[in-house]
Amino acid sequence: MSEHTLKIHEIYLSIQGESTFAGLPCVFVRTTGCPLRCRWCDTPQAFSEGERLDVDAIVATVAGYDSTAIVEVTGGEPLMQKNVLPRMTALCDAGRTVLLETCGALDVVPVDPRVHIIMDIKCPDSGEVQRNRWENVAHLRPERDEIKLVLASRDDYVFARDVIRERDLPRHGRVLLSTVFGVLDPADVVAWMLDDHLPARFQLQLHKAIWGAETPGV
Ligand code: SF4
């Protein structure tokens, strides 16, 4: 891999659908490739489809959209490509608010400290729970980073509740719970959270509520 390229699935302007940034205009930079295969993955097209782009062209494409928008680097799994690290730094240097969506299986330590890390913790029904890199949690910053758990069942909820408590996740980042679209009723999860007094934020995937689950590029 040339040090001047990244394999990119798509770059587009939309609104941020998740996290505490939900609802804000956002340029998405979706990289190609992921080491995981979550059973409910909603972006399998990013496993391999994409083209190798010059990093300067990527930064120029992002700059060509709404210059006030936040920028999210997502995937696939962006940290599979080491060249993504200096690109995120360049975007921060340019004054952009940069979010990184990462699967939680790769080391987050090299990420520029100005980047807002939104890190997954995989639950059992994903089929990838054994890939959680728990040592990442200690490197997250509660004032800047977020921890996301996607639930597909009551068992996933119980797993999430227990790790939130046992690992004191709110001390490391804002904790977000969401459901696999169309698989688990959000009303059930909210009821369980309230019953358990769980210190977490429930979120719906805004983009799917607006455009539906099957619309690509939103
Ligand atoms: S980590 Fe994300 S992109 Fe990779 S398989 Fe899981 S849901 Fe899909």
Q: Is the pLDDT of residue 203 over 80?
A: yes
Q: What is the pLDDT of residue 216?
A: 62
- Tens of pLDDT, residue by residue over 95-137, are 999 999 999 999 999 999 999 999 999 999 999 999 999 999 9
Q: What is the CA(38)–ligand 1 centre distance, in A?
A: 5
- Helices 55-64 and 84-93 pack at an angle, to 10 degrees, of 40
Q: Which helix (H) or strand (E) holds 154?
A: helix 154-166
| DSSP character at residue 109 | T
Mean pLDDT of the 143-172 span: 98
Q: What is the CA(145)–ligand 1 centre distance, in A?
A: 19
Q: Is the pLDDT of residue 180 over 70?
A: yes
Listed in order, strand segments (DSSP E) in 23-80 are 25-31, 51-54, 70-74
Q: What is the pLDDT of residue 213?
A: 73
Q: What is the CA(49)–ligand 1 centre distance, in A?
A: 14
Pocket of ligand 1 (CB under 6 A): 34, 36-38, 41, 43, 75-77, 103
* Residue 126 backbone phi and psi in degrees, to 5: -70, -25
Q: Report the alpha-carbon distance of residue 7 to residue 91 in Å, rounded.
A: 17
Mean pLDDT of the 47-74 span: 92
Of ligand 1's listed atoms, the one at least distance from the Cα of 40 is 7
Q: Is the pLDDT of residue 142 over 60?
A: yes
Q: What is the CA(62)–ligand 1 centre distance, in A?
A: 23
Mean pLDDT of the 187-201 span: 98
Q: What is the pLDDT of residue 55?
A: 86
Q: Is the pLDDT of residue 13 over 90?
A: yes
| Antiparallel, parallel or unpaired: β 5-15 and 51-54 | antiparallel
Three-state DSSP state, 194: helix
* Pocket perturbation via mutation, ligand 1, pick of 31, 39, 43, 118 by most ligand atoms within 8 A of CB: 43
Mean pLDDT of the 78-101 span: 95
Q: Report the alpha-carbon distance of residue 90 to residue 4 in Å, rounded.
A: 13
Q: Report the alpha-carbon distance of residue 179 to residue 166 in Å, rounded.
A: 21
In this structure, which residue's CA is closest to atom 7 in ligand 1? 41
Quote the percentage of the chain above a pLDDT of 70: 96
Quote the percentage of the chain above a pLDDT of 90: 85
Express the helix, strand and coil content of the chain in percent, nearest 5 each: 35, 25, 45
**Which stretch of 59-63, 116-120, 198-202 has the lowest confidence by average pLDDT?**
59-63
Three-state DSSP state, 14: strand
Q: What is the pLDDT of residue 217?
A: 61
